[in-house]
Structure 1
Amino acid sequence: MSRIRVLVADDEPLMLAGIQAVLESAPDLEIVAVAEEGAAAVAAAGRGPVDVALLDVRMPLLGGLDAVDAIRAAAPGVAIVMLTSFGDEPSVLRALRLGASGYVLKTCTPEELLRAVRAAHAGDAYLSPPVARQVIGLIGPAGAAGAERRRAAGDRLARLNPRETDVLRLVAEGLSNAAIGTRLRMSEPSVKTYVSRVLTKLDCANRVQATMLFRTSAGE
């Protein structure tokens, strides 16, 4: 079984060493590149092959958020997980809207970090629990502007057929492809195909964006 190839970028040497130690402890992961600033991370992703890029939000020369955009342009197949000491609202939303598959706080456990990398590689999404609660609060519509966001989100969701809507609803609940397949009595490859179709129809980069859209339409 091939290992997940990971790029790690962080400008703090001690933190970088700690992240490497955690990833190297997992038999299914392989660190293929290390960078201490954003531009080097983008270059490494472009050279490849990289499956998952683990990026610090705040780095010199090119910040992690700007690096997300650049990596998605240079290597669209790379899943991106943001790692940061901060759960500030602008950074969280911008990272998710740019297409990051995960957002993990540096206070997370080693197990949580590994879970985030594996989820990103599997096409799933992972947010540290404090970040997930923050995102749900941020996307809750309020007032006239919220009503417009809810209407626009509903218009986009109307592109889906009933089965695709069922799949999206379970994606929004945080279920994996395997769990969705069990719930809907579908094979995991079929679920993967449906999820891909949903993301394309909704013009979403990943499951996190689709979840945000679904929750916005529901007024959550």
Structure 2
Amino acid sequence: MIRVLIADDHPVVRQGLRTFLDLQDDLEVVGEAADGTEALALTESLSPDVLLLDLKMPVLDGLGTLERLAERGPSPRVLVLTSVSDRGDVAPAMRAGAAGFLYKDVEPMALVRAIRAVHEGQVLLAAEAAEAVLAAPVPGPAAAGPASAGAAEPVAPLTDREREVLTLIASGRSNREIARDLAVAEKTVKTHVSNVLMKLGVQDRTQAALYAVRHGLA
């Protein structure tokens, strides 16, 4: 079972999501939060696998919630589900640790598939959200220093093997799956992943995957 926590300030939205998600054999809604502060408390007490997170909430908004979760260390996979159409919100949310970004007009079964996908380690974006990410400045070394207008962002100096690992990370592969695909030890993959994150100047696999997409490496 995939344990899901819903964070949204509208009771009708929460109830509708709970009613639909609980119909799925592999999903269980373990709690509901009306704001970011409540979401953080329930995340700690309920240990959900996936957090469905709205961006616009009182007390503590979605972005603030993501940042607090990142400070705590290991946390649930976060799938942003919002009605906000401001493309400027997408990249900050993904950089703060979101594993996916969808809008509330998503088809119900597409939402179910998205929850399953992010739980499995994939990065999933609505089409408009993906366009916003592609247009956003790249974090880390690739964005360092002034760039001339219209100049292409340089790609971090990765070895051929590290590029292979980055491509597989972007496709949602786990370390074990990458080890199997490359016919190497899982410990070796962990070393490669650490080197990739360090060279890209990013904090986690989600940000590395976004980097790969923006640079045409995945």
User: TM-score if structure 2 supplies the norm length?
Assistant: 0.78
Q: Which amino acid aligns with 1:37?
A: D
Say if 1:195 and 1:79 are closer, same or farther in 2 by CA, change over 3 A.
farther
Moved more, 69-78 or 43-52: 69-78
Which of 44, 61, 71 pairs up with 1:63?
Answer: 61
More helix by share: 1
Which of the residues 77, 97, 107 maps onto 2:75?
Answer: 77
Partner of 1:177: 173
Match of 2:153 among 137, 141, 150: 150
Identity %: 33
Q: Is the 8 A contact 1:116 1:125 kept in 2?
A: no
Residue 49 of structure 1: aligned partner: 47
Question: In structure 2, what residue type is equivalent to 1:58?
Answer: K
1:104, distance to aligned residue in structure 2 (A): 0.8
Show structure 2 runs of 5+ residues with no match: none
Q: How is 1:47-126 mapped onto 2 (pairs within 5 angstroms)? A: 47-74=45-72, 76-126=74-124
1:211 to 193, 205, 209: 209
In structure 1, the gaps of 5 or more residues are none
Q: Is the 8 A contact 1:8 1:53 kept in 2?
A: yes
Whether contact under 8 Å (2:4, 2:51) holds in the other structure is yes
Deviations 1:108-159 (A, max 9, x none): 0112211222222212111112211232233589x61664x823xx2xx32x
Q: Residues 41 and 161 (structure 1 numbering): CA distance in 2 closer, same or farther, change over 3 Å? A: same
Summarize the Cα distance change of 1:55–1:144 in structure 2 as closer, same or farther, 3 Å threshold. Answer: same
Distance 2:193 2:122 in 1: 11
Instruction: Call closer, same or farther: CA 1:146–1:8 in 2, change over 3 Å.
Output: farther
- Determine if contact 2:165/2:193 at 8 Å carries over to the other structure: no
Q: For this pair of structures, how many residues does the alignment match?
A: 208
Question: Cα RMSD over matched residues?
Answer: 3.3
Distance in 1, Cα, partners of 2:31 & 2:203: 24
For the 8 Å contact 1:46–1:71, the answer to whether it is kept is no
The amino acid across from 1:133 in the alignment is: E
Evaluate the alpha carbon distance shift between residue 191 and residue 116 of structure 1 in structure 2; reply closer, same or farther with a 3 A threshold: farther
User: 1:126-205, aligned counterparts within 5 Å?
Assistant: 126-139=124-137, 144=148, 147=151, 150-151=153-154, 154=155, 157-158=156-157, 160-172=158-170, 175-177=171-173, 184=181, 186=183, 193=190, 196-197=193-194, 198-199=196-197, 202-205=200-203
Contact 1:101 1:206 in 2 (8 A): no
